[in-house]
Amino acid sequence: MPDVLASFINLIPVTIAQSLIVAFVVLGVMIPFRLLGFPDLTSEGAYPLGGCVTGVLIASGYDPVFAMAVAACAGFLAGSTTAFIHLRFGINTLLAGILVMTMLYSINLRIMGRTNIALFTFDSLFKDINPENFNDPWFKIAVVGTLIAVILAALYYLLVTERGTTIRAVGASPDMAEAQGVSIWSATIFGVGSASLFTALGGGIMVQSQGFADVNMGFGILINGLAALIIGEAITGRKTVLRQLLAPIAGALAYYQLVSLCLSLGLAPADLKLATGLFVLIMLALPALRRGGNVPQLREKIRE
């Protein structure tokens, strides 16, 4: 037992660093689901897209920050494509997301030209800032933590401005928003685009942290993101914009510690996706099982 505990405690910093990076993805899952009423699966493709673009550019000698900026733009494009497919052709948001995610797999392969690239020998955001100690988890925590804090602060400011309020209105009630003069098109394209931008950024940071990019790195990331979001919302609640914005980061931190604990207690890594899937399923099913419980709900009124 002490062994188990020791290995779990040893892993805490590494796990925190990892969760902070994945928090970008959870943010990218939360924004369409919660703020725009647009359940979106693009993340599963936008995350490796961000990783592949960043990886290829860094391996070609570009500056890591420039590489991440390009990755973020690529992510925005992916998300806004999903939004466009839904808006223009009236295709269900989930199906639009699956279409984009599937097409992105080929695109990601094309971008990299192979299934993975090793980046250990190249420049990275972390090496740029601290060449000596770039692999120290606490250092990574500081860098990524600062970045996400700045992004969350900016997002919070945006969401309570006049424009941000109109964007949230589209998610809360499209009919009402439209009648108040809000363009559903621009709010949705901007919102879903931004969400995938954050997801791709997460992918771009992750490849620099782990030292390689892989086209398959997105597999299952969406369910991880959802699981983290559900846990986060159980912690922070959803009553205010601020709480809703803090849910992804709180959720990512809690979720990955939970996973790490399960693994050190002997859960086989192979069973991890099954366990995560069952967890999400139970959380989604709970409200139906016991009516009136205040379990965070993901199944809500959804745009057709």
Partner 1 sequence: MLEVKGAARTFYAGTSDERRALAGIDLTLNEGDFCVVIGSNGAGKSSLLNAVAGKLKLDHGSILIDGVDVTRLPVHRRARFISRVFQDPMLGTAPTMTVAENMLLADLRGKTPRLVPGLTAERQAVYRDRLAILNLGLEDRLDAPVGLLSGGQRQSLSLIMAVSNSPRLLLLDEHTAALDPKTAATVMDATIRTIAEFGLTVLMVTHNMSHALECGNRLIMMDSGHFQLQVATPEKDTLTVPDLIERFHVKSDRMLLQA
* Footprint on this chain of partner 1 (rule: CB under 8 A): 158, 160-166, 168-169, 172-173, 175-184
Nearest partner of 303 among 188, 203, 149, 148, judged by Cα: 188
User: Which lies closer to partner 1 via its Cβ, residue 17 or residue 177?
Assistant: 177
| Calpha distance 7→261 (Å, rounded) | 9
Q: Which two tokens stand for residue 57?
A: 């550019």
User: Which lies closer to partner 1 via its Cβ, residue 66 or residue 157?
Assistant: 157
> Are 284 and 39 a contacting pair, CB within 8 Å?
no
| Calpha distance 26→122 (Å, rounded) | 28
User: Which lies closer to partner 1 via its Cβ, residue 67 or residue 177?
Assistant: 177
Minimum distance of partner 1 from residue 173's CB (angstroms): 4
User: Which lies closer to partner 1 via its Cβ, residue 176 or residue 265?
Assistant: 176
Q: Which two tokens stand for residue 272?
A: 């991890």
| Calpha distance 64→5 (Å, rounded) | 37
| Cβ partners under 8 Å of residue 222, min gap 6 | 29, 41, 43, 44
User: Which lies closer to partner 1 via its Cβ, residue 7 or residue 173?
Assistant: 173
For 140, 184, 220, the CA distances from 136, given in Å and listed in that order, are: 6, 45, 27
Minimum distance of partner 1 from residue 177's CB (angstroms): 7
Minimum distance of partner 1 from residue 79's CB (angstroms): 21
Minimum distance of partner 1 from residue 292's CB (angstroms): 16
User: What is the per-residue burial (b if ≥16 Cβ within 10 Å, else e) of 43-53?
Assistant: bbbbbbbbbbb
What is the gyration radius of the CA atoms in the chain, in angstroms? 19
User: Which lies closer to partner 1 via its Cβ, residue 87 or residue 112?
Assistant: 87
User: Which lies closer to partner 1 via its Cβ, residue 174 or residue 193?
Assistant: 174
| Calpha distance 237→258 (Å, rounded) | 19
| Calpha distance 96→112 (Å, rounded) | 24
Minimum distance of partner 1 from residue 251's CB (angstroms): 19
Minimum distance of partner 1 from residue 148's CB (angstroms): 21
Minimum distance of partner 1 from residue 291's CB (angstroms): 18
Minimum distance of partner 1 from residue 213's CB (angstroms): 35
Nearest partner of 190 among 25, 10, 31, judged by Cα: 31
User: Which lies closer to partner 1 via its Cβ, residue 181 or residue 292?
Assistant: 181
Q: 211 — phi, psi (to 5°)?
A: 85, 10
